[in-house]
C-alpha cells in the first residue's frame, strides 16, 4: 500500500504554467584566447557593454589576462564572450 487515493490512470494531466517556461537569464561562457576560462549568468536583455564589463571583472579572466589590457572583446548576445589578449 502506497497510501495514494484513486488510480494514476484516472488522475488529471498537469497543466503547464506559461510564466514558468520563460527563461529570463542566460549563462555565457567566457573564452580568453580561445580557451574557456569562466562563465557568467546575466539577464537576457543586458546590453553588450555591461556584459563585457562583467566578463572582464571575473576572477578567471583577470588571472588569464595577468594584468594586461585585452586587445579585443567580442560579445555575441546570448551565446559567448570572447576576449583576445
DSSP run (H or E) holding 53: helix 48-57
pLDDT at 8: 83
Spans in the chain with pLDDT lower than 50:
none
pTM above 0.85, yes or no: no
- What does the domain layout of the chain look like in residue ranges? 15-84
DSSP run (H or E) holding 60: helix 59-65
Cα 82 vs. chain centroid, distance in angstroms? 14
The CATH number, out of the four listed (3.10.20.590, 3.40.228.10, 3.40.605.10, 3.90.199.10), of the domain defined by the range 15-84: 3.10.20.590
Exposed / middle / buried, residue 85 (Cβ in 10 Å: 0-12, 13-18, 19+): middle
- Each residue of 61-73: pLDDT tens digit? 999 999 999 999 9
| Strands 25-32 vs 80-84: parallel, antiparallel or unpaired | parallel
Amino acid at each position: 500500500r502506497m497510501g495514494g487515493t484513486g488510480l494514476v490512470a484516472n488522475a488529471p494531466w498537469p497543466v503547464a504554467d506559461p510564466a514558468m517556461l520563460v527563461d529570463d537569464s542566460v549563462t555565457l561562457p567566457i573564452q580568453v584566447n580561445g580557451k574557456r576560462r569562466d562563465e557568467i549568468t546575466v539577464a537576457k536583455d543586458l546590453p553588450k557593454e555591461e556584459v563585457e564589463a562583467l566578463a572582464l571583472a571575473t576572477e578567471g579572466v583577470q588571472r588569464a589576462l595577468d594584468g594586461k589590457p585585452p586587445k579585443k572583446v567580442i560579445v555575441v548576445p546570448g551565446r559567448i564572450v570572447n576576449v583576445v589578449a
